Structure 1
């Protein structure tokens, strides 16, 4: 998923951000586990006598490294898919921590690794520190990973209390420090995520404002110019119907002259509300194209179906008018209607011009009428 495809829904965005952070931070981790094992084996007291164990450990950490690298978050879109990826990848992280914790315990327990046990111990400290700072987004899972890394080695040291009590106590204090830091890092990660979500919401609101007519709360011309071509392309590709209705309030200048601009604004708002009552399906896009001109995009709607809706709107408006300041305002509208037809419409502009011509024909022929676009 590219930055241009960043999800806008808060839950999906939070999971997407965690997936992206996990992917970036886990990229080199598997390599260092493999490197730590190779150094522990090579610098052991007798690496030649540990050839079988050495090769098995190398194969194990190589396989874990490959599993991490091959587990890529490609094509993830839904929250369920993102959560499944996280669960699977955390499974790999915890499995790696388990394997290293057991490796550290083995190195401390076996005399053959006396010369390299410091390497294994320092590696355990490094892996625990990396876990604390890189994977604080899931505190409980990170705590489990720390336990898997540290506890096996600490248990072996406890069995040899007389010789290793100083190191054991030091590592316990350091582990306690990591737990405290993990809690702080978790809170900071969540705070940063909350800030990102707030910025995302502000961006969504700004985008909505840029696409919405402030007076009528319908889509504006900018939204129409973005939505219309994509709907035409979709209808052309899928072979599905797409209808367009254009509406123009008759003699709107008279409304402004008699009721003032405030009355004119109230008229436009009431007209838009009446549009919502008739064109109320989820897929319908209601727009104010400018001044007293409005439009309705009706995906999956034939011209006959759109005609019935548009004619119902015209008749109800003629019969009922609009209610302004508790007074009935007589009002009519002229309408043009058409359905996209690839035989006559080479593109969205051609389709719009055909329906727009029908609207102007309705106005020339006396207004308060619905006219279908010519073929």
Structure 2
């Protein structure tokens, strides 16, 4: 997100933004929804996955950290007469909203919602001029706070790691020089500065500001930390035989999901240089192929699907393990959140 706002569409009764969710058939197939099953959609967004799960007969608990998504989904909930429960919550807390007997499935779509991108006032996209915000929950540190207050060294870390931006140093130093005379207030203001430092070349497929905006969004919303905690929460909340399905759109997010399923596979780990680590009981068994991508037809019809990757697992009866973040290659960016305040 990553996060906490899935892509989707609604039925005619839903009244939400019309949007085709990515890998919808593959998600439904992996979850196996049916009457009597309770599935948690941790990234409700525009309700695409939830609508499909409801149509298959399942009961759905849907979370979103964006209050506007929850409000917009009320018509869909009303139309399904108690089978859809909407909750304003971060998906890292999903275990708090699971029934005592456990969940039959959890689905997470780790991508920014099209509704958020389309609303200029949310500040997610440089293609629509608006305040430099990017907060999914409308609380906490904004992108403007980061850009105007973070140390240059911190900006370089954020842009370099979370955005994989090769020009992170040049951009961060240019931001420092410009903000000394006038703070950044709008998305276009920042995008113009980045483009002046790193002009777009004819061969470039994306705008020069794309990676910086991605990095700011991920940082402001702690998307990688949220994803890691959501995976641990799903492990606790799923009943034996329950299914966890995760769709990612970014290599950093996919790596976290891959590392999680690998660590929970029960296989011994080690190398020829290190002693073998004793195998632990498997927490998840893989569902089908280890990773699924969009078909050529879907990628052609929906460019957003081109980078999508789906990974899924079936929960075993083994007890959940401790939520140990050391299994992920996550940088320590939490210390930067105060922005020197």
TM-score normalised by the chain length of structure 1 = 0.24
Q: For CA contacts below 8 A with separation 6 or more, give which structure has more relative contact order.
A: 2
As a proportion of its length, which structure holds more strand? 2
Radius of gyration: which is bigger? Answer: 1
